[in-house]
Structure 1
C-alpha cells in the first residue's frame, strides 16, 4: 500500500505553494490566466523520490514542527477529560457552569496574550526560536497545573500553557509550510494539523485507563496533566538538529545557507538541481530583506491594499467558522454526552477517547482526496453535512428524555459530525491559512489568525456549559444556523487554491474578482490536464 501511495505521489506532485515566475500578471480589470508553470516543468525533469534518504530526513525535520500541533492536542482533550472526573471536581469544588468555563478559557486567554507576541518573536529570531521559547513556557505551565493545590495555581498554569501553545503553533505552522517539499506541500502541511489528534488520543486513553483504578485520588488528573509537556520536552531534544527555513534565511540575507538547506532537503544532495535553482531564484525575487517582517511592530502590510484586506478577511472568516461551528468536544464531550442521557463517568471517558480515532479516520480520508477535490467544495460539502448531522443530534437530544434510545442515536451523529469535520475542515486549518498569505506577512498573519481563533474559542469555550445548564438542547440551534450561513460565506468569499502556486494565489487576490478568477484558473487547468492526457493516450 505504501509503495502504491509513493508511486501515485511520484506521478502526481503537488505544485501548489511554491511561487513561480509570472508571464501573465493578473491585475484588476485585466485578468489573464497563466498557462506556463516552471515548477511543474522542473518536477517533470527532476521527479522527487518520496522515500529517498534526503526526503526521509525532511520528514524528520517536519515531524519536529508537528510536535507543536500535538501540544495543543494534549491540552484540548486532557482538560476535557477532567470534567468527567469526580476527583478533579471534588478537589477544586468545580461542578460545571461558569466556573468550569472560566477554567477552560484561561488557557485561551493565555493564547490571546501570547498571540500578540508570537509573530513578532518568530519573524526576527527565526521559526526554531519560536518553537523553543514556546516549548519552555508550555513545560512551565504544565508543571504548575500538575502541582496545583488551589484554583489560583491551576489557573496560572493554564494561562502559561496557553501562552506557550500559541507561540509554538505560530512558529510550527510557519516552519512546516516553508520547509515542506513543493511537490508534496498539501500532504506535508496538512499533516501538521492532523498530528493534533496524536496528542488528543494519547491523553484521552491515558485518562480512560486511570479511571479504572479503584481509588485513583488526584493522580487521575495529575498524571495526564504532567504528560501535557511531553511534546515540548521531545521537541527540545531534537530542535537543535533541524535547519532554519530557507525562506527565513533568504529574508535575513543568508542566501548561501538557504542554498545548502535546499540542496540537502529538496535537491537530494545535487548542487546543480534545477529545482533548487528555481526555488532560490524565486525566493530572492519575491522576498524582501527590508520587508515588514523585519519590523516586529509593523502590521500595516496586512491591511494596506484591497487584495490584502480581502486576504485577511478570508483568513479571519476562516478562523471564525472553524471555531463556532459547534461546541468544542475536546473540552465538553462529557457534557454533551450527559445531555444525550449518558451519565456514567467511565463510559463518558471512553466515549471521549473514541472521538480521536474517529477524527483520525476522517483526516486520513482527507489525505487521499485533498489533491483531487477543490478546497471550496470541501468546505461547502463539509458544512452541509454538519448542518444535517447537527440537526439530527439536536432532535435526538431533545427527545431522549421520553425516548431514551434516541440518546444513543444522538451519540452516533456526534461521531459522524466529527468524522466529517476532520475530513473536510481540520487538515485545512493549517494548509489553507498558509496558502493564502505571502512570505513577508506570513508569521504576522498566522499570529493574527491564531489570535482570532483563540478569541472565538474564548467565546465558544466559556458559553457552552452555561448555555447547556440554562437552555439545554436548544443551544444547538445556534450552531445549525451558523453552519448554514458558513456555506454562503465560503461560496462568496473564499478563493480556490488547489494546485496554485503562491505567486498565482497573489495574482488571484490582485484581480477585480478573486473568487471568480480562481475558479476560472482551476477550470482551465483541469481542461488542459485532460487535453494533455488525451494527447498522451493518442501518442501511445
Structure 2
C-alpha cells in the first residue's frame, strides 16, 4: 500500500492509492499494438510542428518569394496568421463533435480537412488559393492536435499515461526538425528535365523548391488517417454515452489481454465511472458565475488567463514565423545560411525540449515555469538591445550575438 501523493517505489506505479508492479509494455502483445496506435496520435503534433517550421523555411526560399511577389506588411502577416484564424473558427465546434461522435471523430475530420488544405497549398497558383489552403489546414489542425492528447490520456495504460502525453507535446519539435531540413534540402531543386512535373503552365520548374515541403507535410496526415480507424475509442466516451460494456472491453483487451477481472482494469473502470458521475453532479450544481464567486476562484481564474495570455506573448512567435526577417535585420541575408540556422535551431529545440520534459516531476512545475519566464525575459531583453545596436553600427559581431541570444532564449523557453 502506498500513500496518495507519494512517489511510487522503483519498478512500480500508483493507481487508486496503491502500488502495482510496472508492466514491460514491449513484452505485452496488446500493449504493443495499443502503443503503435498511440504513435499515430502522437504524429498529429509532428504534423503541426512541420507546418510551423515549414512556413518559416519557405520565406527564405527565393522561389517562394518570387512566386508570391515578395510579400511584406499586412500581406505577409495574413500568410502567417490565417492558419490561426482557421483554428479559432474550428475550436468552438470541437467539443460538440467529440462528445457526440467520439474522440476519434476529431482526428478523422481534422485529418481530412488538413489533406484538402495541403493539396490546395501544394498546387497553389495564386495568393487567394494559398490563403484558403492555410485556413483549411488551421481548422483541421486544431481538431487533430486538440483531440490527440485527450485520446492518448484516455486509452493509454495508467503507468505510461504521463510519458505518452509528454511525448505528444515533444513531437512538435520532431516535425519542426524535419520541415526545417526539408526546406533546406529543397533550396536548390532544379527539375529542368523532369517528366513527372506537370503543374499549371504559369509555374516554373524550380517551384518544386517550395511545393515539395508541402507535399511532404501530407505524409504525416496520411499516416494518421490510415491508422486512426484501428485506434480504440475512449472508454470515458463510452461510459459518458451509456456504453459501459464497450469501455470495460476496451480496458480489458488492451490493458490486461482480455481479462475483465484484472484488478487494474477494474480500478480504472471504477475511477472513470466515479469521475463522470462527479462531473454530472458538479454540472448540475455549478454555473459560469462560480469562476468569480469567491476570492480563491477569482485568483485561480486570473492566473489561468495570465498563463495562457503570456505564453502566447512570450516572443517565440517572432522566430516561429519571421526568422528570415530577423536574419535580414542583422545582416544574414543568404538563404542558404538562413535555412541552416533554422535547421540548427529546430535541432536545438528538439534536443533541449526532450531532455527537459523528463525533469518536470523532479523539479516541480512552478519552479520550472519561473526559471523559464525569468530566463526568456533576460535573453529577449539582451537580444533586443543587440539588435538595436546592430541597426546603428552594422557591426557583424552584434549580429552574431543576436543569433546566440536566440538559442539561449529557446533554451529557457524549452524548460517549460
Mark the runs of 5 or more structure 1 residues left unpaired by the alignment: 1-7, 16-37, 426-540
CA contact (8 A) 1:81 1:207 kept: yes
* Contact persistence 2:183–2:210 (CA under 8 A): yes
User: Would you say the 8 A contact 1:177–1:185 is kept in 2?
Assistant: yes
Give per-residue Cα distances to partners, 1:409-450, cap 9 Å, x unaligned.
22012112113212x22xxxxxxxxxxxxxxxxxxxxxxxxx
Q: Quick one: distance in 2 between partners of 1:228 and 1:71?
A: 7
Partners of 1:286 and 1:276 lie apart in 2 by: 15
Is 1:117 paired with 2:75? Answer: no
2:400 pairs, out of 401, 404, 408, with 408
Residue 126 of structure 1, CA deviation: 0.7
Any conservation in 1 of the 2:190–2:206 contact (CA below 8 Å)? no
Q: Is the 8 A contact 2:383 2:402 kept in 1?
A: yes
- Tell me, in whole angstroms, the C-alpha distance in 2 between the residues paired with 1:152 and 1:341: 32
1:104 CA displacement = 0.9
224, 235, 242: which one aligns with 1:235: 224
In the alignment, is the contact (CA less than 8 A) between 1:186 and 1:371 conserved in 2?
no
Offset of residue 195 of structure 1: 0.7
Counterpart pick for 1:58 among 25, 31, 34: 34
The alpha carbon displacement at 1:268 in A equals 5.2
Distance of 1:262 and 1:318 partners within structure 2: 35
Q: For 1:114-161, what per-residue CA distance to the aligned partner results, in whole angstroms no more than 9, with x for missing partners?
A: 112122211211111110011000000111111111111111101101
C-alpha contact 1:252 1:289 (8 A) present in aligned 2: no
Which of residues 217, 234, 248 is equivalent to 1:245? 234
Instruction: Identify the residue that residue 464 of structure 1 maps to in structure 2.
Output: none
1:47 aligned residue: 22
Q: Deviations over 1:281-332 (max 9, x none)?
A: 1211220499499x9xx9x856645577666654443322221100422211
Partner residue of 2:380? 390
Say yes or no: does 1:225 pair with 2:214. Answer: yes
- CA gap of 1:310–1:255, structure 2 versus 1, over 3 A, is farther
| Runs of at least 5 residues in structure 2 that lack an aligned partner in the other structure | 1-6, 192-204
Give 2:197's aligned residue: none
The question of 1:323 aligning with 2:322 is answered no
Contact 1:250–1:289 (CA under 8 A) maintained in structure 2: no
Q: What do residues 52-101 of structure 1 show as CA deviations (whole Å, max 9, x unaligned)?
A: 32433332222121122122112111111121122112111133222101
**2:131 is the alignment partner of 1:142:** no
CA displacement at 1:399 relative to structure 2: 2.1
Residues 9 and 145 (structure 1), Cα distance of their counterparts in 2 relative to 1, 3 Å cut: farther
Contact 2:177 2:350 in 1 (8 A): no
- Label 1:292 to 1:121 Cα distance change in 2 as closer, same or farther (>3 A): farther
CA shift in 2, pair 1:199/1:45, >3 Å: closer
SS of residue in 2 equivalent to 1:400 = helix
Q: Measure the CA separation in 1 of the matches of 2:299 and 2:155.
A: 26
CA distance in 2, matches of 1:362, 1:292: 43
For 2:364 and 2:80, the matched residues in 1 are separated by: 35
Q: Against the structure 1 CA distance between its residues 290 and 360, is the aligned structure 2 distance closer, same or farther, given a 3 Å change threshold?
A: closer
Q: Greater shift after overlay, 155-164 or 301-310?
A: 301-310
In the TM superposition, 1:42-441 aligns within 5 A as 44-53=19-28, 54-213=30-189, 217-267=206-256, 269-288=258-277, 291=280, 304-305=290-291, 306=293, 313-328=302-317, 329-401=319-391, 402=393, 403-422=395-414, 424-425=415-416
Flag the 1:309–1:147 CA change in 2: closer, same or farther, 3 A: farther
**Matched residue SS, 1:355:** helix
Superposed CA offset, 1:262-294 (max 9, x none): 22333355433222111111211220499499x
RMSD of equivalent CA atoms: 2.7
CA shift for structure 1 position 335: 1.6
CA distance in structure 2 between the aligned counterparts of 1:262 and 1:410, rounded to whole angstroms: 52
Q: Secondary structure at the match of 1:371?
A: helix
Please give the secondary structure, in 1, of the residue aligned with 2:33.
helix
Q: Aligned pair in 2 of structure 1 residues 304, 244: CA closer, same or farther (>3 Å)?
A: farther
* Alignment size in residue pairs: 389
Would you say the 8 A contact 1:175–1:245 is kept in 2? Answer: yes
Q: Deviations over 1:188-237 (max 9, x none)?
A: 11111111112111111111011133686211111112222222111111
**RCO higher in 1 or 2 (8 Å CA, sep ≥ 6)?**
1
**Residues 157 and 10 (structure 1), Cα distance of their counterparts in 2 relative to 1, 3 Å cut:** farther
TM-score of the superposition, structure 2-length normalised? 0.86
Q: Which has the higher mean CA deviation after the structures are superposed, 108-117 or 273-282? A: 273-282
Residues 416 and 163 of structure 1, relative CA distance in 2, 3 Å threshold: same
1:394 and 1:159, CA in 2 relative to 1: closer, same or farther beyond 3 A? same
